[in-house]
Amino acid sequence: MLPPTSIIADIIAQDPVGMKQLHAARSLGLPDWCIAAGFVRNRVWDHLHGIVPPRPPADIDVIYFDAGDTSKAPEARHEARLAELMPGLPWQVRNQARMHVPKGLPPHRNTADSMTYWLETVTGIGVRLERDDSLTVIAPLGVEDLLGLVCRPTAFGRTRRGEYDARIAAKHWRTLWPRVRFLD
């Protein structure tokens, strides 16, 4: 039996559209990067629900960690470059070295650390395309909930329960993936 992270990597690797997006993101040469959130969650849940091909995500969250430049300007440049490489897609690039500020948190240590401050465990998972074209899964909160069709708040999400509940409702996850169990 494959390890859980290999199952996720295999699901992503089978999606030619997702792989093209990973190639585009890799070409930016960002430090400590991955494509995370709905890119992974939606593809895995679509796969587990038998939805083929996977539905396109509302956005493509490219995240990275560069403490040397925490301004927003590089993010806009990276989004523009991705739009040139793959036009018409909802690219969103964010340096996790600055994302602690709006949340009123201490600085994050790296990309994986920043993901522990997202609202749901199933969103805090990313995939990086390595130079040898292998996939690395970044999952600081584990992958069991994602593969087990379970959605629950992170420790941080429990401190922001109103935001968590509003997000679940706004994204219509209960309708999109009826087999998912929502736990506290």
- Per-residue pLDDT of 1-13, as tens digits, reads 779 999 999 999 9
Task: Compute, in degrees rounded to 10, the torsion defined by CA atoms 178, 55, 123, 82.
Answer: -170
CATH classification of the domain holding 151 = 3.30.460.10
What is the pLDDT at residue 143? Answer: 98
pLDDT 10s digits, 166-176: 999 999 999 99
Q: Judge contact between 33 and 128, C-beta under 8 A.
A: yes
Tokens of 149: 């069709």
Q: Quick one: DSSP state of residue 61?
A: E
pLDDT 10s digits, 18-76: 999 999 999 999 999 999 999 999 999 999 999 999 999 899 999 999 999 999 999 99
Question: Is the full-model pTM beyond 0.75?
Answer: yes
Omega of the bond leading into 53 within 30 degrees of 0 (cis): yes
Backbone angles phi, psi at 150, to 5 degrees: -125, 135
Number of domains making up the chain:
1
Name the pLDDT band for 103 (thresholds 50, 70, 90). confident
Q: Which domain holds residue 71?
A: 4-182
